[in-house]
Amino acid sequence: MRRVVKFLLASLSFTFLFAGSSSIAQADPVVITFTDPNQTLVAGNTGIFSGSLTNVSASPVTLSGSLISFTTVVGEFEGTLIVLNYADPFLALVSPLSGGPVTLAPGESTGVIPIFTYNTSGFFGGPSTVTFNGLFTVSQGDVFIPANQLGVASWSVTVLPNPNPIPEPTTAILLGTSLLGMAAKLYRKRRG
């Protein structure tokens, strides 16, 4: 009986040791910390995600690739589009054309910088809110190769309906031509 208990305890301790070491081995070498990872804005406005990137590994890491992606869109917000763009300070870290790529020493951080901006169309005011959820990934080289990925952080933007939506250009044209047609008809009636 004692042998069985010892065997079970040894098996459990080995399992916990293996699980602990595998989680450490899979930890991201770069920690991405957004100052405000969950943002809300009214349609037609522009927002920005700022944050820092910190090398938490024991060796230097080079930032030379990145990806902003959507994971889910929750809700229906017809006609509203969210557009994502990298901010210039972040491009300076990773793009050779802007001075990058940058190598972070162990423990080194970029400090808080603008990472990417987003804006939404103000043409439509509803019918409801929508939440865009996504991921921001930094890499060394090709971001699509998992072995090169250094760190991942999630972000979300909730877009509220615009109380004063800007009319779509085609809607404005249709409205304008119909008003002109009505004015012409009234003019003919008065004249004739």
CB 68 within 8 A of CB 134: yes
pLDDT tens for 37-83 read: 999 999 889 999 999 999 999 999 999 999 999 999 888 766 668 89
Task: For residue 102, give the nearest of 151, 53, 168 by alpha carbon.
Answer: 53
Domain range summary for the chain, segments of one domain joined by +? 29-181
CATH of 29-181, one of 3.40.462.20, 2.60.40.10, 1.10.3720.10, 2.60.120.10: 2.60.40.10
Where b means 16+ CB within 10 Å and e means fewer, 84-110 reads bebeeebbebbbeeeebeeebeeeeeb
Given this model, what pLDDT does residue 99 score?
A: 85
Segment 121-136 shows an average pLDDT of 81
For 3, 112, 123, 191, the CA distances from 51, given in Å and listed in that order, are 54, 5, 30, 68
Q: Which token pair is 191?
A: 């004249």
Predicted TM-score of the model (pTM): 0.72
